[in-house]
Structure 1
Amino acid sequence: MNHRELGSAGVAVSAIGFGAWTIGDDWWGHIPDDDALRLLAAARDAGITLFDTAAGYGNGRSERLLGEAFAGAHAEVVFATKFGYDLADTNRDGHRERRQAWDPPSIRASLVESLRRLRTDVIDLLQLHNPKMDAVRRDDIYATLEDLKAEGKIRAWGAALGPRIGWRDEGIALLRARRPASLHMIYNLLEQDPGRDLLEAARTVGAGVLVRVPLSSGVLTGAYSHETTFPAGDHRSHRPRGWLEDGLAKIEKLAFLPAETGLTLAQASLRYLLDQPGLTSVLPTFRTGAEIREYAAAAAAPPLTADQHGRIAALYATNFGVTPASAAT
């Protein structure tokens, strides 16, 4: 497993990280505690040291499981967690966002609980969770984060954009005005914008970049077909059917990657991201030990060639030659 410096955070992280939202929430199906702990152990065995979580993932369940898995062993891993949602806001339907709470007392209260659940006395990377422009403009948030650094309670702070893809203006404004150690965003071979602009902006200010949804919610695993359906609790069941149909049409054009590299489509898609200058770590969705071993191996694979990157760029520029399903007649 390769390791890379995370911007100005002063910590090195594995090129493949563990996105721990799947062990907190049921949006990919429920994972029992024992199975979640086995996944975390398998990830560590595969050389993964970066574990990205949030207070809001399962109302603290994800953090609790990480704390249990690495009790007494925090020095061996990097904990990145998030704050910003009011966990007392239970008046929400389905996947609707909770109310956000950015005032300094709420930030400190959230950190206290995260430290308790993670069984540690310091957070390596504390991230704003899905800040909107009002949070970008609030000076008291960033003054509080700098105070927490000075107090030794966090090593660095960053921001995670979302919940969905986008937030270009917020990300660029935050990078330029606040200089976070890292920016966390959605970016993958099929969904390159606004990730490309955000990556360039992060490089300009020396911020590290963490990428989630690197396999386009599973499309780039090659495991889905036109007959695939998602259970009602799965977050992908809320997407228009055209999202899957378009994705399947696009990955047909990427068959050259496995053929030429000997990698799986998922590994080649992860390698594509790891080749991007300034990108620090990618956070795939893990549900099995086999996926951990497969995806972690991408970090040691040779970079894609300039010709392969060029062909991907040409395909993306033409939407892979695919007419969007919503526009098809």
Structure 2
Amino acid sequence: MQHRGNVLENAGTERRRADRRIFDGIPESAGRRLVTFRGGAAHAVCAPGSCTFKAGEHLGSVMLKPSPGITASLGSGKIHEYDGDVGTIMIIPANIASKVAWSSATESAIVALAPESLTELAEREFGTGRAELQPPPFGTVDPQALQLAQLLRAELTRREAPNEFYVDSLVTMFGVHMLRNYAGAGKLPQGPKGGLSNRSAARVREFLGVNFSSRITVAELAAVSGLSPNHFILAFTKTFGEPPHKYLLRLRLDFAEKLLVESDLSIAEVAHLSGFSDQSHLTVTMSKYRGRTPKQVKLRR
């Protein structure tokens, strides 16, 4: 019972974080954004312009298309001029004023993490509360950050609603990447590289089997397994042969098909009971991953 209580307490903390308005400085017209339990992610396409802001969260921005003619400064530092190549990363620590101007259109993925969230990741991943970010030189290209940014763009620009659990996983991995490369945490010992133990795998499988239709976070599952969030994602994937968000989606689709075949519930009711936001979300997802619509499944029973 104590373990379950800790899980719920952690989940409550993450949900309170989700209430923060972490992308107020980015116009909604720039692109879709999603606030998750750990932080948030946004896809932004901006015409030439400039901005000055100071966020309460740590921000990491990765350029998805080249944009020459950028000027930027952090805090009271001098202004730097550079050409933004694909993969150029800019890290802005929380509560540090920044100025950025760009002479051509830009496309980027932006990740935000609250200071307490990054500190928690540092404690869980590396056993230390050290989370003081050290931004890289302006114009630095980061191939690994680019891979995460491209995955975020693909998810945030889909026609259907983005998968919050998946985006939260990517935000978590981006946070760990920042700690390892831009906070001096890279010299700390790395976590286990194997899969989940049999006991942890059984706990996670049981937890998902009971709670798959609820709103689940990476932090909750990591707590159930006894691992840190990033290590959990890697260990889960190695153990089950697919990442957590795909495993969860498969459970929801399996249950939805079962209800469609064995009950007289409406498709909207099935969607709600299976963990989908609405009937349209279920229809789009089932069509994509199962090659048939809920209506077709009902007609074949």
**Do they fold alike, i.e. is TM over 0.5?**
no
Point out the structure with the larger helix share. 2
- TM-score class, shorter-chain normalisation, is under 0.3
* Greater radius of gyration (CA): 2
